[in-house]
């Protein structure tokens, strides 16, 4: 056994090549990746990871929620795993790094430690959380939430995509594609969890640091607003007799802009999904369904706004009816100091410029923090562009992330 004081160097070239290989699964013409959760492309990504894992002799397990665990055994079989990971799914026409970098740096760490023949007391795991993006199945971070007991398994498996396919059917497809996978219970103990991710902002790019030690994560709220009017002929129906769902819905989104405005520009109010039905050019639309995505660091303010949002929507419904689903409420959270310090120490050891920072995006580590000490690190992301085909991260920054993760896994698994 090597001394713990020697931290093996990760294989940056292999790590980058793995990104290149993964980016082929769901590659878009615009240079991005379109790999929605547990589509054929995403299942291919799981299978490819499993092949790499088995080439190293690591085992594979799936839990009933479709989360995947790649495991290198430790010397004490009674201990839970020291783990790292993220997700393989992307946004529609998303990028090549969001999620997959956290999976591949975790896997690279396992390979590095394995090839350096370092024995660990704790087993090591690289974890792929299912349906992080929430782009195909609502809500986001479904896999980690179900694992952490924050979401009901049966409810999650019953969720349908826009074509009516259930998450349960997709998880069955994944299991079929990985017949060699063992079984993992939901909520089974984890010793610790560290997730690396692109920042999806410009703070590291601006400061010149390459590692962000994440201290906490903003909370968010999601609402689904269904505005019901009445289809009508656009030429013959006077304004006074219309029940125009588009007019009502955009009156709502405008009014929400006023109450969700902060001078500090820290509140994040987004309408990214807005569907107008039936969608004919000459039909006054009888229905609009839209999704409110609101994020903020202040729990009290979020709670107050969550009460105001339905009232504002109702007040601007005009002649239409409105149904409001309070779809998701996640409070702001903080990571334990020991994990933040782990990241800082590993970054300092290798001379990587680093700083503490807050996360404005939601990540799986939020849920896993309920089960065990959890933390995150960020690396720079070109111009902060993410959820976009143009998303870019540098090979040397990804390598730095893997090095920090590898160091932390060694420290925690051999302690």
The site for its own copies (CB under 8 A) is made up of 91-93, 133-135, 138, 140, 199-202, 218, 220, 222, 230-241, 244, 246-247, 250, 253-254, 257, 265-266, 268-276, 278-286, 291, 293, 295, 360-362, 384-389
Compute the distance between CA of residue 345 and CA of residue 237 in angstroms, rounded to an integer. Answer: 68
Q: Is 81 helix (H, G, I), strand (E, B) or coil?
A: strand
Q: How far is the CB of 223 from its own copies (least distance, A)?
A: 10
73 versus 275: smaller Cβ distance to its own copies? 275
Q: How far is the CB of 33 from its own copies (least distance, A)?
A: 12
Quick one: 77 or 164, whose CB is closer to its own copies?
164
Q: How far is the CB of 252 from its own copies (least distance, A)?
A: 10
Q: Are 70 and 52 in contact, with CB atoms under 8 Å apart?
A: no
Q: What's the closest the beta carbon of residue 20 comes to its own copies, in angstroms?
A: 22
Residues in Cβ contact with 98 at an 8 Å cutoff, skipping those fewer than 6 apart: 90, 91, 197, 198, 200, 386, 387, 391
Q: Strand 59-62 and strand 182-183: pairing?
A: parallel
Rounded to a whole number of angstroms, the minimum distance from the CB of residue 352 to its own copies is: 21
**Closest CB to its own copies among 208 and 279?**
279
Residue closer to its own copies (CB basis): 77 or 279: 279
* 345: number of Cβ within 10 Å: 15
Q: Please say which residue, 29 or 236, places its beta carbon nearer to its own copies.
A: 236
Distance CA(237)–CA(129), nearest Å, equals 50
Question: Smallest distance from the beta carbon of 50 to its own copies, in angstroms?
Answer: 27
Q: Among residues 389, 403, 390, 396, which one has the least CA distance to residue 35?
A: 389
Decide whether 34 or 184 has the Cβ nearer to its own copies. 34
> Which residue lies nearer to its own copies by CB, 31 or 182?
31
Going by C-beta distance under 8 Å and a sequence separation of 6 or more, which residues neighbour residue 117?
A: 1, 2
Tell me whether strands 374-379 and 190-198 are parallel, antiparallel or unpaired: parallel
Q: Output the smallest distance, CB 414 to its own copies, in A.
A: 35
Exposure pattern of 214-227 as b/e (b: 16+ CB <10 Å)?
A: bbbbbbbbbbbbbb
For residues 230 and 243, is the Cβ–Cβ distance under 8 A? yes
């Amino acid at each position: 056994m090597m001394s713990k004081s020697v931290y093996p160097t990760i294989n940056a070239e292999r790590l980058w090549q793995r990104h290149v290989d993964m980016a082929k699964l769901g590659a878009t013409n615009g240079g991005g990746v379109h790999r929605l959760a547990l589509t054929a492309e995403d299942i291919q990504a799981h299978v490819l990871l499993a092949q790499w894992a088995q080439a190293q002799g690591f085992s594979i397990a799936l839990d009933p929620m479709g989360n995947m665990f790649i495991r290198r055994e430790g010397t004490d079989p009674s201990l839970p795993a020291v783990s790292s990971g993220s997700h393989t799914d992307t946004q529609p026409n998303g990028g090549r790094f969001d999620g997959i970098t956290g999976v591949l740096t975790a896997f690279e760490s396992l390979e590095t430690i394995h090839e350096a023949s370092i024995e660990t007391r704790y087993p090591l795991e690289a974890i792929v959380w299912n349906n992080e993006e929430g782009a195909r199945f609502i809500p986001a971070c479904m896999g980690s939430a179900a694992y952490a007991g924050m979401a009901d398994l049966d409810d999650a498996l019953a969720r349908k995509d826009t074509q009516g396919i259930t998450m349960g059917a997709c998880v069955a497809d994944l299991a079929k594609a990985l017949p060699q996978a063992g079984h993992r219970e939901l909520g089974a103990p984890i010793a610790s969890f560290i997730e690396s991710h692109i920042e999806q902002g410009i703070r590291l790019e601006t400061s010149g640091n390459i590692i962000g030690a994440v201290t906490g994560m903003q909370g968010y709220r999601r609402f689904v607003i269904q505005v019901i009017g009445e289809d009508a002929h656009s030429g013959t129906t006077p304004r006074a007799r219309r029940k125009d769902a588009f007019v009502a819905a955009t009156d709502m989104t405008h009014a929400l802009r006023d109450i969700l405005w902060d001078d500090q520009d820290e509140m994040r109010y987004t309408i990214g999904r807005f569907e107008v039905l039936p969608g004919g050019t000459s039909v006054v639309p009888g229905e609009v369904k839209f999704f409110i995505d609101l994020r903020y660091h202040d729990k009290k303010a979020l709670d107050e706004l969550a009460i105001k949002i339905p009232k504002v929507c109702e007040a601007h419904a005009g002649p239409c009816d409105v149904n409001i689903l309070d779809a998701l409420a996640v409070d702001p959270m903080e990571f334990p100091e020991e994990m933040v310090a782990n990241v800082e120490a590993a970054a300092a050891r290798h001379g990587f410029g680093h700083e503490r920072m807050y996360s404005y995006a939601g990540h799986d580590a939020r849920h896993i923090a309920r089960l065990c000490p959890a933390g995150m690190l960020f690396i720079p992301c070109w111009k902060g562009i993410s959820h976009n085909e143009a998303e870019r991260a540098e090979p040397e920054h990804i390598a730095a992330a893997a090095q920090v993760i590898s160091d932390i896994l060694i420290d925690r698994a051999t302690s």
